[in-house]
């Protein structure tokens, strides 16, 4: 599933429409994908990934 928003307000409205539980799921999926794709950078980005 992929979404691309051309305007920041559209992205913001869609994001704000998500339930907090849905946001947590998406954030976790992004963090896991970044860890998989860039394992050599996890240590330097641990604070960002933990957010």
Q: Render pLDDT for 28-47 as a digit per residue (tens, 0 to 9).
A: 998 899 889 999 988 888 88
Given pLDDT bands bounded at 50, 70 and 90, which one contains residue 2? Answer: confident
The pLDDT confidence band at residue 3, using thresholds 50, 70 and 90, is: confident
Give me 36's structure tokens: 């998989």
CA gap 28, 26 in Å, rounded: 5
Contact between 32 and 49 under an 8 Å Cβ cutoff? The reply is: no
* Domains in the chain: boundaries: 23-51
- The maximal CA–CA distance of the chain, rounded, in angstroms, is 34
pTM above 0.85, yes or no: no
């Amino acid at each position: 599933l992929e979404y691309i928003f051309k305007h920041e307000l559209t992205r913001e409205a869609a994001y704000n429409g998500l339930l907090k539980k849905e946001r947590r799921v998406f954030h976790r999926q992004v963090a896991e994908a970044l860890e998989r794709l860039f394992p050599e950078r996890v240590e330097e980005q641990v604070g960002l990934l933990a957010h």
